[in-house]
């Protein structure tokens, strides 16, 4: 199999996806939620019970499947099958919605396999089409195949304009030598993206064997290094979920501490691929900004400053117009509680320093304009008071974003 080498000894699989993990099968089908036969139901079968951990939205009105599966995982951190519908979030649907989520899970477990896990994404506050989803699971639960990864990824899309998948092989040390494993992922997300866990729906999976505690630790680390570093619009959805599946720790290949570290690097790389794909596919996006804040008192203050810049409507509209109005960036930072030394501040746009030691620099405006008109704009800000640092990816704010979200249900 052809592959391209990346960092940490990872080998990216061209065209790889969640089902690249050995033993996984799936299907992406239409059950009639979306119009015109669009794919709207994804089914995944790992082929065996896997260790499972998840992180969920912190929105205080979580969707029915979030409540259900969060409780289920607390009781039994094992998953074999997953069902995800798009087109209806089953959120803010009351008792009926919670009962529908339970029925969806029971249908999945009876028709495809148990233990199961369900997710939903789409319009909030609309009665859940349980009959359509249940019929879809029953009709297609026996048609799962290992080559359906792209259909599975397509079926979970809402306002996304492209599929989001990735996969790698990697080597990890075990008690009986070095072995090669696979990690794969898929995600959906375009709007309602903000780093308050998890900013979208994603499944990460690997055939590397790790226990429950290691799985939870690896997932938290991977999410903090990826999905918590992106923001499109500052809104956190009611349905955000990231699920990590891994081989049962009873596998004969027991990982060493070094091997577990290798798994963490591989899972994190997949999560970062998915996070970057989400922000690049932000609703109406024309330009992406990579924001790095350094020289902060600590990492927490650096992150506060980076998020303020990423969320500023004035910064985002400047990005939309390719207008390097860098005073907006400093003003957004200065609206936070992050410490800074004005006489040691340094702001760089696309590699060009525009503000240093408390005053603007004389620069070639044409070069700055060009730097700010790139598809990806780099913004680097040094606060001059310490060693804390953080980074964020964000998008511009365009007319298209307003159009999409002003016509979402109409």
Q: What does the buried/exposed string (b/e) look like for 4-31 if buried means 16 or more CB atoms within 10 Å of the residue's CB?
A: eeeeeebbbbeebbbbbbeebbbbbbbb
Contact 179, 55 (CB under 8 A): no
C-alpha 219: how far from chain center: 12
Dihedral over Cα of 247, 250, 251, 253: its sign:
positive
End-to-end CA distance of the chain: 46
The tokens for 220 are 């938290």
Residue 36 buriedness (CB in 10 A; 0-12 / 13-18 / 19+) = exposed
Contact 88, 126 (CB under 8 A): yes
Contact 283, 232 (CB under 8 A): yes
Q: Are strands 201-209 and 241-247 parallel, antiparallel or unpaired?
A: parallel
One of 199, 236, 268, 348 is an active-site residue; which one?
199
Contact 41, 140 (CB under 8 A): yes
199 is catalytic: yes
Residues 6+ apart with CB under 8 A from 224: none
31 backbone dihedrals φ, ψ, rounded to 5° = -115, 5
Active site residues: 199
């Amino acid at each position: 199999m052809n592959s391209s080498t990346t960092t940490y000894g990872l080998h990216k699989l061209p065209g790889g996806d969640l089902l690249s993990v050995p033993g996984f099968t799936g299907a992406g089908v239409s059950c009639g939620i979306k119009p015109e036969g669009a794919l709207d139901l994804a089914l995944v079968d790992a082929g065996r019970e896997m260790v499972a951990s998840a992180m969920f939205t912190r929105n205080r009105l979580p969707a029915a499947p979030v409540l259900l599966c969060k409780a289920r995982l607390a009781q039994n951190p094992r998953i074999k099958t997953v069902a995800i519908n798009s087109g209806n979030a089953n959120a803010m649907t009351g008792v009926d919605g919670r009962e529908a989520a339970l029925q969806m899970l029971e249908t999945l477990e009876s028709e495809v396999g148990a233990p199961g896990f369900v997710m939903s994404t789409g319009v909030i506050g609309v009665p859940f089409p349980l009959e359509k989803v249940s019929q879809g699971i029953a009709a297609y639960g026996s048609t799962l195949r290992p080559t359906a990864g792209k259909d599975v990824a397509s079926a979970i899309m809402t306002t996304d304009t492209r599929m989001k998948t990735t996969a790698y092989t990697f080597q990890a040390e075990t008690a009986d030598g070095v072995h090669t494993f696979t990690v794969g992922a898929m995600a959906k997300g375009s709007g309602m993206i903000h780093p308050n866990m998890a900013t979208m729906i994603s499944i990460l999976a690997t055939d590397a064997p790790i226990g429950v505690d290691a799985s939870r630790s690896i997932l938290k680390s991977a999410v903090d290094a990826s999905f918590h570093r992106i923001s499109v619009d500052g809104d956190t959805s009611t349905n955000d979920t990231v699920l990590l599946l891994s081989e049962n720790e009873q596998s004969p290949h027991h990982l060493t501490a070094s091997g577990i570290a290798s798994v963490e690097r591989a899972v994190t790389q997949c999560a970062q691929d998915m996070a970057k794909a989400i922000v690049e596919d932000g609703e109406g996006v024309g330009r992406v900004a990579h924001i790095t804040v350094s020289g902060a008192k600590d990492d927490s203050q650096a992150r506060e400053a980076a998020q303020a810049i990423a969320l500023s409507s004035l910064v985002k509209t400047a990005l939309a117009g390719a207008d390097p109005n860098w005073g907006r960036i400093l003003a957004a930072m200065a609206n936070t509680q992050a410490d800074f030394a004005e006489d040691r501040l340094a702001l760089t746009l696309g590699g060009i320093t525009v503000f240093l030691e408390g005053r603007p620099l004389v620069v070639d405006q044409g070069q700055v304009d060009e730097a700010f008109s790139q598809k990806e704009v780099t913004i680097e800000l040094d606060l001059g008071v310490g060693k804390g640092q953080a980074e964020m990816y964000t998008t511009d704010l365009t007319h298209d974003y307003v159009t999409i979200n002003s016509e979402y249900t109409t």
